Structure 1
Amino acid sequence: MATTIHRPVTHTHVVKAARTPADYVWAVARIALGWIFLWAFLDKTFGWGLATPAAKAWINGGSPTTGFLKGAGENAFGGFFSSLAGQVWVDWLFMAGLAGVGLALVLGIGTRVAAGAGTAMLLLMWAAGLPLETNPFVDDHIVYALVLVGLALTGAGGTLGLGGLPVVRRTPWLK
């Protein structure tokens, strides 16, 4: 009779696949889209005069949601979105979302969570704009949401980001 000897594995070596050009394209897309969210947060907070004048900055008492949501009043879901405009909890949730999604994407940590939260925010902004003026279905909010889904599915935080750190790789919600 043959005897099988089982030996414990004492050393394993994981070979990391080489980065492809597509990995770098997704990483740059991640950082660029993260910057869009982060810039929106910074401009609405401080009113640096590009999209938000200083007088309407959040730190000067302005509401970061009022202009956009009040403008949705005549659209398909306008009554719902107009009722949210200027509410403190909506402003805080919106700004936390912009900052959180932006930082996560730029740093490459929590890319999956950021992609989910960012997609939800973008779909709500898309719905607030219905019906669309220049296209019956697709606008930049939908395109950005699709890019966020792609970032989550490709693990884009590991290239040119901190997503490759061992603690991030071991912790599923940080991926």
Structure 2
Amino acid sequence: MAFTEGRHPSDAAPRTPVVNAAPPQARSRAADHVWAVTRIAIGWIFLWAFLDKAFGWGFATPADRAWIHGGSPTTGFLKGTSGHALGGFFGGLAGQAWVDWLFMIGLLGIGTALVLGAGMRIAAATGGVLLVFMWAAELPLATNPFLDEHLIYALVLAGLALVGAGDTLGIGRWWGDTQIVRRHRILK
């Protein structure tokens, strides 16, 4: 019986087969594309909300209540929260010009960033905050004790930023290489 480097072959630890030798951070191109399409789809949800509220294209907002015709993009939702736990607070914000402007700039900025794939960290953070506020405005929820689509979208936004979803089918890689973003990583 032969010994190798002073050890008996039976002393060796048993080997277990390696199922996936790829490093944990490696993802397939298919996964990158799924994240990219998800990013673009959620970006479109934000952009569409902006466009419909701004121009009243008749889906959620009738033309006569469009923002460009003097309508308030926040009044309908926020006034509808009056019977909810935080309805007094959110109802008091309804129709205030600064709230309308902040909301609309948020929808446009978040949607544009997501569709383009640039500024994913800021888009995920601000989009998450907006969605959590919308979730809080509807508490208690009618169909679930605590979870609804607002929180799910907020989690997906965080995931999109964490996986760098703007690099596939977007300008995220180019954006990240710009001088201003290299100096201020929060802009990535």
Task: Give the TM bin, normalised by the shorter chain.
Answer: 0.7 to 0.9
Q: CA deviation at 1:38?
A: 0.3
Q: Give 5+ residue unaligned stretches, structure 1.
A: 1-16
- Identity %, equivalent residues: 67
Alignment of 1:64-79 (within 5 A): 64-79=73-88
Q: Give 5+ residue unaligned stretches, structure 2.
A: 1-25
Aligned match of 2:136 in 127, 133, 140? 127
Give the number of equivalent residue pairs: 159
Tell me which residue corresponds to 1:167: 178
Tell me which residue corresponds to 2:5: none
Aligned match of 1:109 in 110, 115, 118? 118
The 3-state SS of whatever aligns with 1:161 is coil
- The letter of the residue matching 1:150 is G
Tell me which residue corresponds to 1:25: 34
Q: CA deviation at 1:130?
A: 0.6
Distance 2:70 2:93 in 1: 17
The 3-state SS of whatever aligns with 1:72 is coil
- TM-score, normalization by structure 1: 0.87
Structure possessing the higher radius of gyration over alpha carbons: 2
Distance 1:100 1:52 in 2: 20
Distance 1:81 1:68 in 2: 9
The 3-state SS of whatever aligns with 2:121 is helix
Q: CA deviation at 1:19?
A: 5.5
Q: CA deviation at 1:67?
A: 0.4
Distance 1:131 1:98 in 2: 25
Q: State the superposition RMSD in angstroms.
A: 1.5
